[in-house]
Structure 1
Amino acid sequence: MAFEELLNEVGGLGKFQILQMVLALPLVGIAACHILLENFTAAIPGHRCWVYILDNATEILSPDVLLRISIPLDSNLKPEKCHRFLHPQWQLLHLNRTFANMTGLDTEPCMDGWVYDHSLFSSTIVTEWDLICDHQSQKSVVQFVFMAGMQVGGFVYGHLSDRKSGFDPWVGSPDDCVMKFRFGRKLILRCCLLQLAISGTCTAFAPTFLIYSLLRFWSGCSAVAIITNNWLLIAEWTRSQSKAMVIMLITCAISIGQMMLGGLAFAFREWRTLQLVVSVPFFVFSFSSRWLVESARWLIVTNKTDQGLRELKKVARRNEMKNAEATLNMEGLRVTMQEELEGAQTKTTVFDFFRTPNLRKRICLLLFVRFAVTVPLYGISLNLQHFGSNIFLFQVIFGALTTLARCLALVVLNYKGRRPTQMLFLFLVGLSILANMFVPQEMQPLRVALASVGISCVAAAVTSYCVHCDELMPTLLKAKAFGLDAMVSRCGAALAPLLMTLVVYLPTLPWIIYGVFPIIAGLVVLFQPETRNMPLSDTIQDVENTKTVSREANEKDFYIKVTKF
């Protein structure tokens, strides 16, 4: 790549890149907190119906006695959460009465509200707006709304930051309007930082559930753009040899954000306070982001060569590459980047993925695997209460485990290949989720262990998938492939919380779906070619000739091994 030469000349990994990461990685970590925020702000505490005889504290009988005559027991012999006796059942005080006698007693829904257990949380949106019993699906709906905001934000801000708007007859020729509505990574990032600061802060003061949901949708739009544009700014200023390490640091920042959220939620138990704590810092970030530098690669391929040259000189100065700053000039830049500038003019569309058989097969299978691995990822991450009551500790543990799992995935990929690695982790994800359904609630250590295996393997599976996807897609269509990948990923993220509404039909049904999807995806990976130590494809023709290239590469590898012997 021609830009790599320029980047090596100004410093591909120096003080400038380190400063960029110092500024950008905290943004990624705290933005990740917003994705998982409903684990705590929408936590469902223990609850029961409000009963006059029990809760007005005028009776001389003990609370346990009053509870027995006021609230029926469920199948687990625990007080019902959504029903109460129509009248106090004094006869239940007699010891010779059995629980079987309770089946014929008249009950009614909670007509006067609920009483909540505030030992873990002083308040959540669930206790604020009574999102339980007949309204329990609304918690999943608000999580879906945030994920839908991520989908919309990814499309809108991706278009504004990186794509052409087309011909504008009021401006002139198509060449004149190429730059219209293309704002780049930095400007969109700064706008989204301010947007998340405002929407997140306003959410903390939301007076109704509807306004809360709308503000969370708005937050989702900006959160995804913050993560994506930070990713691009860091990656596009880093040399190829160090890019894998940098991408690993970015993904680890997301995991560290998970751990940070667990600690903050433990310290701030009131949902409005927690919402403010993770939102107000973005006002500071929106100011500090002015020191980030726009991607010179993007500036050059969009014909902003003057600005691109200025940014390259700025980087050379910060990396103390004085010779490079003196030799950089417009003529040399145009000569060096000639091929990339010509390549940027090549018109490709999404439909190019589906015109040839091999590429069509690759993209369809990749998108299915991406969808199938995203659903259990968010299914586990957004439902910590399913695994036990200490969700603060679970959040920290899961964040630490996903960090280690992503590092482990790279090691296994290098030794076992792309397909075996993905299959291993995907099968482990599905089996751990399905096995957890058969573990009783009382066996908390085993449930947490299985959940830990699941969240670790799903993080490793995502990392493995990303490497495989990057190697399977031709360079010419790689940007559009990542766009499709992101769209499908957000569809899976939006579906994951929505599946939890199925618990009204069968409590285990969402978890069956979460477990079956990755197992099917593991089988689908078998139909993809192995790419370890294989030459990468640059064009669609390279993909269609993959069998010939693969055979030649294997023959060359065999020849080298025999010669050495």
Structure 2
Amino acid sequence: MAFEELLNEVGGLGKFQILQMVLALPLVGIAACHILLENFTAAIPGHRCWVYILDNATGILSPDLLLRISIPLDSNLQPEKCRRFLHPQWQLLHVNGTFPNVTDLDTEPCVDGWVYDHSLFSSTVVTEWDLVCDHQSQKSVVQFVFMAGMQLGAFIYGHLSDRFGRKLILRCSLLQFAISGTCTAFAPTFLIYCLLRFWSGCSAVAIITNNWMLIAEWTRSQSKAMVIMLITCAVSIGQMMLGGLAFVFREWRTLQLVVSVPFFVFSFSSRWLVESARWLIITNKIDEGLRELKKVARRNEMKNAEETLNMEGLRATMQQELEGAQTKTTVFDLFRTPNLRKRTCLLLFVRFAVTVPLYGISMNLQHFGSNIFLFQVIFGALTTLARCLALVILNYKGRRPTQMLFLFLVGLSILANTFVPQEMQTLRVTLASVGISCVAAAVTSYCVHCDELMPTLLRAKAFGLDAMVSRYGSALAPLLMTLVVYLPTLPWIFYGVFPIIAGLVVPFQPETRNMPLSDTIQDICDMKITHI
């Protein structure tokens, strides 16, 4: 709480904070594009087996007739995607309007490759390396690789940020992200592509979390809920932007390049960011912390504050924090006391449970229809509105009721969608829109609650652990889609059940609306849990 006094003195929400957000929020938005990039760069187009008589020969027969004698039909009377007739079935030329039983006819896999429908995408990772039929699960592997990179990055860069500072690690991550993303556009093999995407994932999480901490640690407590909402809205705006860019750039290498090159510019412009004075003071870099406070006071035009800020006053104000900084804390301190251990475990479970459906829906837009460009933009717009709505409900109803409401709506909308036939596209898209909107609102509500539940001395470490668990959920989401081989609705059942269970455990957390932030572990131990 002592740092709040210094922050209010230099300006807790002034020109500096606004300019900082103007610079940082675009980074978050474009970094979010990469999280869902495989929706477009790894989209699975329509495809069928390559057949010589159909694709390399000329004759008097029309393509439709050649297709009839070359490719068998599936249960929906559509050409098979993964098999072809062993020999041309000339007798099928005489079929007119009726389809005889052809199950006894000899077929074979696509031994000569596939022909793809390029009407939607000129090329994707799938068409480049034939990730269809027996290799279709490798698309989920591609998505998993990026999420696994984010998981490792959360662990490594979270530790490095606490040790070397938010700004330094952010600048390094921006340069790494620019290099890895640009190189991905020129990947010659599928293995190299996966390795580069893994590397990009490591730096993507550092960009988002370090921007988050820099903005939050320079903002007064009364405005943090609004700031967190703006950061999460930047993610949604990034989704909308991705839909528009993917519509314009239909070739996957070009799209990859377009969303990667700007980070070279961001890496250069990040030099104007200001390091967190809170972190500098807590790590005993008091001279640097005082210099940054004066810089912020000057930018916020708080002339009196710049004159009165001095080393003696700072030490007197931050005496308790400076004493606490002498004792090194670790992530294990989050589990040492019963109250804090309970908070941490419940928070991590809710984070995991809400992340699984978030990425389950976001990464599988093709499941809801063919116009995935429009869906991406619509979902981005809806989640932006939902996050703003969450802020209003958070302020009037509290943290726990808001989370419970949106978590239950997420689960119910997803489970209801499993019973809707594929032909009812309007209803399916409506339910999916409700689901993605509510899950975005649930994430925003969770982030505000998490920030208020963790003590200041452990908040950065808690965010690092939270990011790791989030990556477990985001990595599991694409892997669950491999269960469609057993039951098409099985992944969606998991996506729907997780948030409902999470909604049931939220009431076991304390309500934090209109309560001061905790600074120490002892504050957590002394707090009496309130009920709804």
With normalisation by structure 1, the TM-score equals 0.89
Residue 184 of structure 1, CA deviation: 0.7
Separation in 1 of the partners of 2:161 and 2:515? 33
Equivalent in the alignment of 1:562: 529
Residue 255 of structure 1, CA deviation: 0.8
Evaluate the alpha carbon distance shift between residue 359 and residue 235 of structure 1 in structure 2; reply closer, same or farther with a 3 A threshold.
closer
Evaluate the alpha carbon distance shift between residue 119 and residue 97 of structure 1 in structure 2; reply closer, same or farther with a 3 A threshold.
closer
Evaluate the alpha carbon distance shift between residue 447 and residue 247 of structure 1 in structure 2; reply closer, same or farther with a 3 A threshold.
same
Residue 534 of structure 1, CA deviation: 5.7
Separation in 2 of the partners of 1:49 and 1:151? 38
Separation in 2 of the partners of 1:363 and 1:522? 16
Separation in 1 of the partners of 2:232 and 2:531? 40
Equivalent in the alignment of 2:218: 237
Residue 419 of structure 1, CA deviation: 3.0
- Contact map agreement 2:229 2:391 (CA 8 A) in 1: no
Evaluate the alpha carbon distance shift between residue 7 and residue 473 of structure 1 in structure 2; reply closer, same or farther with a 3 A threshold.
closer
Evaluate the alpha carbon distance shift between residue 4 and residue 31 of structure 1 in structure 2; reply closer, same or farther with a 3 A threshold.
same
Matched, 1:75 2:42: no
Residue 563 of structure 1, CA deviation: 22
Residue 61 of structure 1, CA deviation: 0.6
Separation in 2 of the partners of 1:356 and 1:319? 40
Residue 358 of structure 1, CA deviation: 4.0
Residue 529 of structure 1, CA deviation: 4.1
Evaluate the alpha carbon distance shift between residue 486 and residue 278 of structure 1 in structure 2; reply closer, same or farther with a 3 A threshold.
same
Q: Deviations over 1:294-345 (max 9, x none)?
A: 1111111111111112212222222222222222222222222212111222
Q: Deviations over 1:422-459 (max 9, x none)?
A: 22211211121122122222221111111100000111
Residue 413 of structure 1, CA deviation: 2.7
- Contact map agreement 2:510 2:530 (CA 8 A) in 1: no
Residue 531 of structure 1, CA deviation: 4.1
- Contact map agreement 2:244 2:377 (CA 8 A) in 1: yes
Separation in 2 of the partners of 1:469 and 1:17? 22
- Between stretches 310-319 and 520-529, larger displacement belongs to 520-529
Evaluate the alpha carbon distance shift between residue 394 and residue 7 of structure 1 in structure 2; reply closer, same or farther with a 3 A threshold.
same
- Contact map agreement 2:510 2:529 (CA 8 A) in 1: no
Separation in 2 of the partners of 1:416 and 1:514? 27
Evaluate the alpha carbon distance shift between residue 516 and residue 100 of structure 1 in structure 2; reply closer, same or farther with a 3 A threshold.
farther
Evaluate the alpha carbon distance shift between residue 563 and residue 499 of structure 1 in structure 2; reply closer, same or farther with a 3 A threshold.
closer
Separation in 2 of the partners of 1:117 and 1:53? 18
Evaluate the alpha carbon distance shift between residue 244 and residue 38 of structure 1 in structure 2; reply closer, same or farther with a 3 A threshold.
same
- Contact map agreement 1:53 1:59 (CA 8 A) in 2: no
Q: Deviations over 1:480-538 (max 9, x none)?
A: 33332222111111111111122222222211111111122222224434444567655
Residue 151 of structure 1, CA deviation: 0.8
SS of the aligned residue for 2:530 comes to helix
Which runs of 5 or more residues in structure 2 are unaligned?
Answer: none
Evaluate the alpha carbon distance shift between residue 154 and residue 241 of structure 1 in structure 2; reply closer, same or farther with a 3 A threshold.
same
- Contact map agreement 2:229 2:444 (CA 8 A) in 1: no
Evaluate the alpha carbon distance shift between residue 479 and residue 189 of structure 1 in structure 2; reply closer, same or farther with a 3 A threshold.
closer
- Contact map agreement 1:148 1:217 (CA 8 A) in 2: yes
Separation in 1 of the partners of 2:235 and 2:117? 32
- Between stretches 91-100 and 416-425, larger displacement belongs to 91-100
Residue 34 of structure 1, CA deviation: 0.7
Largest Rg, 1 or 2:
1
Separation in 1 of the partners of 2:507 and 2:287? 48
Which runs of 5 or more residues in structure 1 are unaligned?
Answer: 163-181, 544-559
How many residues are paired up? Answer: 530
Residue 462 of structure 1, CA deviation: 1.3
Residue 100 of structure 1, CA deviation: 4.7
- Contact map agreement 2:32 2:238 (CA 8 A) in 1: yes
Separation in 2 of the partners of 1:11 and 1:525? 34
- Contact map agreement 2:511 2:531 (CA 8 A) in 1: no
- Counting aligned pairs with the same residue, the percent is 92
Q: Deviations over 1:56-78 (max 9, x none)?
A: 14121111111111111111111
- Contact map agreement 2:158 2:461 (CA 8 A) in 1: no
Separation in 1 of the partners of 2:78 and 2:84? 13
Separation in 2 of the partners of 1:383 and 1:562? 40
- Contact map agreement 1:422 1:465 (CA 8 A) in 2: yes
SS of the aligned residue for 1:425 comes to helix
Residue 477 of structure 1, CA deviation: 4.0
SS of the aligned residue for 2:58 comes to coil
Matched, 1:540 2:527: no
SS of the aligned residue for 1:525 comes to helix
Residue 475 of structure 1, CA deviation: 4.7
Separation in 2 of the partners of 1:236 and 1:87? 69
Evaluate the alpha carbon distance shift between residue 263 and residue 237 of structure 1 in structure 2; reply closer, same or farther with a 3 A threshold.
same
Q: Deviations over 1:114-139 (max 9, x none)?
A: 00000110000000000000110111
Evaluate the alpha carbon distance shift between residue 19 and residue 218 of structure 1 in structure 2; reply closer, same or farther with a 3 A threshold.
same
Separation in 1 of the partners of 2:6 and 2:503? 41
- Contact map agreement 2:33 2:239 (CA 8 A) in 1: yes
Separation in 2 of the partners of 1:248 and 1:92? 61
- Between stretches 531-540 and 479-488, larger displacement belongs to 531-540
Residue 353 of structure 1, CA deviation: 4.1
Pick from 372, 378, 391 the counterpart of residue 410 of structure 1.
391
Evaluate the alpha carbon distance shift between residue 562 and residue 111 of structure 1 in structure 2; reply closer, same or farther with a 3 A threshold.
closer
- Contact map agreement 2:141 2:479 (CA 8 A) in 1: yes
SS of the aligned residue for 1:115 comes to strand
Matched, 1:428 2:417: no
Evaluate the alpha carbon distance shift between residue 70 and residue 148 of structure 1 in structure 2; reply closer, same or farther with a 3 A threshold.
same
- Between stretches 14-23 and 490-499, larger displacement belongs to 14-23
Residue 2 of structure 1, CA deviation: 1.9
Pick from 485, 498, 505 the counterpart of residue 504 of structure 1.
485
Residue 208 of structure 1, CA deviation: 0.2
SS of the aligned residue for 2:73 comes to coil
Separation in 2 of the partners of 1:81 and 1:506? 19
Residue 83 of structure 1, CA deviation: 0.4
SS of the aligned residue for 1:279 comes to coil
Evaluate the alpha carbon distance shift between residue 18 and residue 471 of structure 1 in structure 2; reply closer, same or farther with a 3 A threshold.
closer
Matched, 1:66 2:47: no
Residue 193 of structure 1, CA deviation: 0.7
Q: Deviations over 1:254-295 (max 9, x none)?
A: 111110101100010000000000000011111111111111
